[in-house]
Structure 1
């Protein structure tokens, strides 16, 4: 039986991934560099980020550091002004809270996470949140989800990860945890062949959890 859920955050609980991409695109446009979106998505699936294309174009690290600060400012602007809610998330979490304990394991930085949740009703359902500063190696390395297991004191077979990217899926698989991948238009072309479940919305998680009780 599944007793714990470890949620990814961006693209799963809030619709932020496009805006992160857009912030980086906007920062690089300031130096005349156009981001190839398909390459960006491939890079992200491998744990790389916005700056892979910049480095390939010969942009130096000092400039990248400056652009990263600009990107971060743009991103926080979007987080404060754009509609990033995903319909049904709070209701689903309320339902799931009757059956499992939940936490968030995200590559988001604490500053961004705090902006997103300053006035949202998601954190109250979570036992804890792990942001990027809380572990050393990022997804697709298994460390983030293994850290989540340790915080819960949970076994792999008792736990379900919920992800929307192949990078996160690979992290869960490497940690030995079943993973449900929820549909996200931004990542839909990635390879999810190793997913235990493919779902269109988080509402389907309740049936997965209840079905797992019958398997125990």
Structure 2
């Protein structure tokens, strides 16, 4: 029997703010400057997770067959990222959904594979931090998505069962984590993840503006 809906759990990058597309553009440019193509399918392997599946620095070294200066590439990627990000705002439908959920008494949480400083910083900058009762990041777990640890920890902290929550995700890695935790998952792909394969999801939305409670 399906229990009463009690909580929404949100991914962060690419769902609340599209921080993922600028990172792809930044590394795509760096690769092009070295005469190497960085395909979206290859880059998407690390979306929603860590660099274990695809490490952009090491892969570039493999393609060039020589070592590169990791610190130099890091600084350059951050410069390009900031230029592409510009004044990134909250993605469509996010604020409306948060307000509607709070009005209905639905509890709100974030479960992200990014670092605590990264997630907390953006949420505070965007004025969203106080919406969320629970915020868990890579600093709180041993394994990030697609491992379910982040979602299981978030459920435990909220004190709700898996069938009392809905997860919102933009990546296959996030979807796998939600499925492994036994939580219904609504996928909301962004520019980077739109063409990827998503299986076993509850519903697909073009943006959170489509979500009605």
Same fold, judged at TM 0.5 (above): yes
Deviation at 1:150, TM superposition (A): 1.4
Alignment check: 8 A CA contact 2:17 2:88 kept? no
CA–CA separation in structure 2 for the residues paired with 1:148 and 1:59? 42
Q: Which runs of 4+ in 1 moved over 6 A?
A: none
From 21, 25, 31, the counterpart of 1:18: 21
Aligned residues: 205
* Residues 125-134 or 112-121, more deviating: 112-121
TM-score by length of 2: 0.81
- 3-state SS of the aligned residue for 2:166? strand
CA–CA separation in structure 2 for the residues paired with 1:90 and 1:118? 14
Taking a change above 3 Å as real, the CA distance of residues 18 and 84 of structure 1, as seen in their structure-2 partners, is farther
Alignment check: 8 A CA contact 1:90 1:121 kept? no
* RMSD over aligned Cα atoms: 2.6
Taking a change above 3 Å as real, the CA distance of residues 143 and 181 of structure 1, as seen in their structure-2 partners, is same
CA–CA separation in structure 1 for the residues paired with 2:138 and 2:84? 20
CA–CA separation in structure 1 for the residues paired with 2:66 and 2:149? 31
Alignment check: 8 A CA contact 1:16 1:84 kept? no
Map 1:60-71; keep pairs closer than 5 Å: 60=67, 63-64=69-70, 67-68=73-74, 70-71=76-77
Deviation at 1:138, TM superposition (A): 1.1
Taking a change above 3 Å as real, the CA distance of residues 46 and 11 of structure 1, as seen in their structure-2 partners, is closer
- 3-state SS of the aligned residue for 1:117? helix
Map 1:123-138; keep pairs closer than 5 Å: 123-138=129-144
Deviation at 1:42, TM superposition (A): 4.2
Deviation at 1:89, TM superposition (A): 1.6
Taking a change above 3 Å as real, the CA distance of residues 59 and 126 of structure 1, as seen in their structure-2 partners, is farther
Question: Could you give the per-residue CA deviations for residues 113-157 of structure 1, whole angstroms, max 9, x where no partner exists?
Answer: 244234312222110211222211111111111111111121111
Runs of 5+ consecutive residues of structure 2 not aligned to the other structure: none
- 3-state SS of the aligned residue for 1:15? coil
